[in-house]
Each structure stands twice: as structure tokens, then as C-alpha cells.
Amino acid sequence: MATYVAFLRAINLGATRKFPKDAIVAATEAAGFTDVATHINTGNVRLTTRMRSRARIEAALEAAYAEDRGFAVPTIAYTTDELRAVVADADRFAASRGSHQGRHYVWLVKREPSAAQRDELEALSTDRERVHVSARAVHLLLDGGYLDATLLKPVEKRLGVTTNRNVTVLRALVTKWCP
């Protein structure tokens, strides 16, 4: 059995996209996954499965969530090793920027960006917003606030299916679920 961490996109936004944690657990278990747990109400789900195909896991979760909620819930799954690597890379990237005191967000993506996409995304960096691509994660260091960021939409448009998390949340997940 393998453990994965799944990230749900665009839930609990507004009145029509509600997906409470208990309902996420129930729908995930109904789809055949075990050892299911959630962390905060933003769509972070740990699960265990015999499946080895990330694409099959994501498809099974998306089908279960759509059936349960009546709306699409794009889902991006990472193995625990992959998630640990994302956080380690986040720490290396932040360290390479010196004593960065701003915010650090990570877009988690279904498909790894190509080398050309990586170069294009990293070229968007400015003095106040720095982009770094690693495997299926795109890091954004911001000197200002999240709502002041100018690179959010341009980066997301180039990535396909994504969801983002603050690196603090990802560190907490690694501590909690990826010993």
C-alpha cells in the first residue's frame, strides 16, 4: 500500500463549492481509499491505496468528488516522497535568495512543465516576485502580499491544472504525514 497526499482545487469558495472535511473523507473512502485524513479545510487529503498510477488515483478521486458534490473538483496527487522533495526544494530556493522575509507559495501541478515552460516561467521573475520551477511544483517568492502579486495569473495560465498552497502548509503536511 502506498500513501499519497491529494490537493483539491477550488473548494470552499463561495456558497456553491462547499466541500466540508468530513464529506471529503467520506467520498474518498467510498472511492476505495483507506487511512484517509484531512488537514485544514482547503483540500489537503492523505490517503492510502494499492493503486500505483497517479493518473488513475486522480481520476478516481475526481469522479468520486464530482458524484458527491455535483461539481468538478480537480485533484493533484503526490507521493509522500514527492511532497518531501517539494518542501526540500522550497527550502533550497528560499535559502538561495538570502534572508527572504516575504511569502512563499507553491503551485502544485498535474503535469511537469517542459524545459521551455520552465525557462519561460522563471524569466517572469522580478525583483519583488521570483519564480522557480522544480518537477511538478512552481515556487513563487513574494516581497509583498498575495493580493499584490502580479505574476499569479500569468504563471497559472501557463501551467494547466494547478492548485497552490503556502509553503508553511506544505511543511506542516510533510511533518504530519510524511515522516
| The pLDDT value given to residue 127 | 87
- Helices (runs of H) and strands (runs of E) counted in the chain: 6, 8
Beta bridge partners of 107: 138, 164
C-alpha 14 chain-centroid distance: 20
* Assessment of whether the complete model's pTM goes beyond 0.85: yes
For residues 28 and 65, membership in a common domain is answered with yes
Query: Which of 79, 98, 133 is the C-terminal boundary of a domain?
Result: 79
Q: How many domains does the chain have?
A: 2
CATH number at residue 122: 3.30.70
The mean predicted confidence, pLDDT, of the chain is 92
Q: Which of 64, 79, 94 is the last residue of a domain?
A: 79
Instruction: Please report the pLDDT score of residue 89 as a whole number.
Output: 93
Are residues 15 and 90 both part of a single domain?
no
Q: Quick one: pLDDT at residue 101? A: 67
Residues 6+ apart with CB under 8 A from 109: 76, 136, 137, 138, 159, 160, 161, 162
Q: Give yes or no for residue 145 having a pLDDT over 90.
A: no
Q: 86 and 58 in one domain? A: no
Residues 85 and 104 in one domain: yes
Q: Is the pLDDT of residue 105 over 80?
A: yes
Q: Which of 62, 79, 96 is the last residue of a domain?
A: 79
Q: 89 and 168 share a domain?
A: yes
Same domain (yes/no): 47, 58:
yes
User: Domain check: are 116 and 63 in the same one?
Assistant: no
Domain that holds residue 31: 2-79
Asked if residue 129 and residue 58 are part of one domain, the reply reads no
